[in-house]
Amino acid sequence: MDNSNTVKFSIRRYIAVLAILIVLVMTVLDVTVVNVALPVIAEKFGISNSNAVWIITIYQLVITMLLLPFSSFGDKYSYRKCFLSGVAVFTVASGLCAASQSFVMIVAARALQGVGAACVMGVNIALTRLIYPRQVLGRGLALNAMVIAIATAAGPTIAGALLSVASWHWLFLVNVPFGIVAFILGKRLLPQNPVKDSSGKYDWVSGLQNAVTFGLIFWAIGNIARKGDIVFNSCILAIGLLVGFLYIRRQRHKESPMLPIDLFRIRLYSLSISTSVCSFIAQNVAMISLPFLFLGNYRFSEITTGLLMTPWPLATMIVSPLASRFVERHNPGATAAAGMAVYAVGILMLLLASPAGISEWDIAWRMAVCGVGFGMFQTPNNIVMVMATPVHRTGGAGGMQSTARLVGQTIGATLVTIVFALSAVELHSVRICLCIALAFAIIAGLFSLSRVKQI
């Protein structure tokens, strides 16, 4: 292949990344923009705020239930087909959300959106690994992290801008043209899986066990945290744990298990997964509790509070690509550990900040420190996690990576709910949450540090 053909081939492969990034933006924005629009949608359908939360919860719950089954499908058959199916389902579901005439219809459409998002999230890392050469894979993973950070930071602003000129329906309708573009780009340019044996049937039983396990456990934990019926939800939790036990026992006899317990035998991978869960607990506990501090105790306005939350994802967006280049020549385990140390310092400074006379700038730079630390940590940790696994198991590894993130975020949200339920004083609740975030950041840093000699 001559140089011109090589360049042309490379350009086609890198343009294919656009399909992945477009859909990542769509799936992330559909959490943040709906958060902002939730009161409007609740009023439209005449439902309580507590019921309206299901519009958010059902989307995240379905993703958690189906990530690993779709990752396994991608490993066995085709990451490309799984991705394109997910884009198609997500785009159609977005149109159905916009056309919803009742609360039941929009919840059902949001569940369908979750199916599409799970298809995409389950294989996006595997596709990134196929597109990027090994020596610059970190740049691809960093680009994914940067785009997610941008979407997270811009989500509330985009939602506010759209709602100021149009109805809430457009929050979903905007996905349709972007989904069509992503589908066309993906169909033409995304690479196929490496050739391998795909004999044997898909393990539908394991897929069902996975969905039931994650669905029942996280549904029950969420309801218990919200002071639901303790007896009923404890029974649901027990059923989920029982199915989970049977699920794990079934996976032990599989050559390529859906729940990648074979990969957990790789110490570097299992450490990286543990680190990821702890880091996202630390992140979500802080991100959820801090607005209560800014609004209730520091007496900042809603607009100011929104702006004060922005330096965190903005700093992560800037630092992630720099960290990806840095670890091309330096140990990613040590870099990730340093990132968690910086993050812990940021949380500690927020915890020790005196409410008396504190300014917006005093908060903003502390939030930026947290974002810098998380940006230093996230990309190196993802690189270690992906590179520790065989290429043919990238789908399972990537799906578990996304599952670890969702598990960490869900546990973090649950911990905040429990702390606020147990403490009547809001300031004390936030401080306890920040202490929890600090503790998990230290644990994640220690896990990361333990990998240094193995890389």
Query: What is the residue-level pLDDT of the chain in tens, covering all 455 positions?
Result: 445 544 444 677 777 888 888 988 888 888 777 766 777 787 888 877 667 777 877 888 899 899 889 988 888 888 889 999 999 999 999 999 999 988 899 999 999 999 999 999 888 888 888 888 777 777 777 777 778 767 766 776 777 778 778 888 888 998 999 999 999 998 888 887 664 545 567 888 999 999 999 999 988 887 877 777 889 989 999 999 999 999 999 988 787 788 888 788 888 888 888 999 999 999 988 887 888 788 777 877 767 777 788 888 888 888 888 888 887 788 888 889 999 999 999 999 998 887 777 888 889 999 999 999 998 998 888 888 877 777 677 777 777 887 888 888 878 878 887 888 777 777 788 899 999 999 999 999 998 888 777 66
Residue corresponding to tokens 């001559």: 2
Using alpha carbons, select from 34, 308, 9, 307 the residue that is nearest to residue 170. Answer: 34
Instruction: Output the pLDDT for position 96.
Output: 95
In Å, how far are 194, 338, 420, 428 from 293, measured between CA atoms?
50, 27, 12, 10
**Which residue type does 365 have?**
W
Can you tell me the distance from the alpha carbon of 440 to that of 327, in angstroms, rounded to the nearest whole number? Answer: 24
Q: Does the pTM of the predicted model rise above 0.85?
A: no
Can you tell me the distance from the alpha carbon of 28 to that of 23, in angstroms, rounded to the nearest whole number? Answer: 9
Can you tell me the distance from the alpha carbon of 328 to that of 380, in angstroms, rounded to the nearest whole number? Answer: 10
Tokens in use for 376? 């230093």
Contact 437, 285 (CB under 8 A): yes
Contacts of 280 (CB under 8 A, 6+ apart): 404, 405, 407, 408, 409, 412
Tokens in use for 168? 């809430």
Tokens in use for 179? 């989904």
Can you tell me the distance from the alpha carbon of 17 to that of 121, in angstroms, rounded to the nearest whole number? Answer: 14
| Residue 254: HSE in the Cβ half-sphere, 13 Å Cα cutoff | 21
Contacts of 177 (CB under 8 A, 6+ apart): none
Burial readout 138-155 (b: 16 or more C-beta within 10 A, e: otherwise): bbbbbbbbbbbbbbbbbb
